[in-house]
Chain A
Amino acid sequence: ETGVTQTPRHLVMGMTNKKSLKCEQHLGHNAMYWYKQSAKKPLELMFVYNFKEQTENNSVPSRFSPECPNSSHLFLHLHTLQPEDSALYLCASSRGQENQPQHFGDGTRLSIL
Chain B
Amino acid sequence: GQNIDQPTEMTATEGAIVQINCTYQTSGFNGLFWYQQHAGEAPTFLSYNVLDGLEEKGRFSSFLSRSKGYSYLLLKELQMKDSASYLCAVKDSNYQLIWGAGTKLIIKP
Measured between alpha carbons, how far is A2 from B37 in the docked complex, in Å? Answer: 12
Is B8 close to A, CB under 8 A? yes
Interface size on B, as a range, is 20 to 34
Quick check: which of B58-66, B74-82, B96-104 contacts chain A, the rest being far away?
B96-104
Q: Say yes or no for A90: interface residue by CB 8 A criterion.
A: yes
CB neighbours of A107 from chain B (8 A): 42
Q: Is the CB of A41 within 8 A of B45?
A: no
Q: Does B109 contact A (CB under 8 A)?
A: no
On chain A, the residues within 8 Å of B7 by CB distance are: none
Return the CB mask of A29-63 against B: 1 if under 8 Å, else 0: 00000000000111101000000000010000000
Chain A interfacial residues counted at CB < 8 A: 19
Q: How far is the CA of A98 from the CA of B98 in the complex (A)?
A: 13
* Contact B40 A106, beta carbon cutoff 8 Å: yes
CB distance from B74 to the nearest CB of A (A): 19
At the interface, yes or no: B4 with Cβ under 8 Å from chain A? yes
Residues in A neighbouring B50, C-beta threshold 8 A? 99
Determine whether the beta carbon of A97 is less than 8 Å from that of B43: no
Closest residue of chain B to A98 (Cβ to Cβ) is: B95
A residues contacting B by CB (< 8 A) are: 2, 4, 40-43, 45, 56, 90, 97-99, 101-107
21 CB-based A-B contacts, threshold 8 Å: A2-B42, A2-B44, A40-B101, A40-B102, A41-B101, A42-B4, A42-B102, A43-B89, A43-B97, A45-B96, A56-B96, A90-B43, A97-B95, A98-B30, A98-B91, A98-B95, A99-B48, A101-B33, A101-B48, A104-B35, A106-B40
Residue ranges of B at the interface with A (Cβ–Cβ < 8 Å): 4, 8, 30-31, 33, 35, 40-45, 48, 50, 87, 89, 91, 95-102
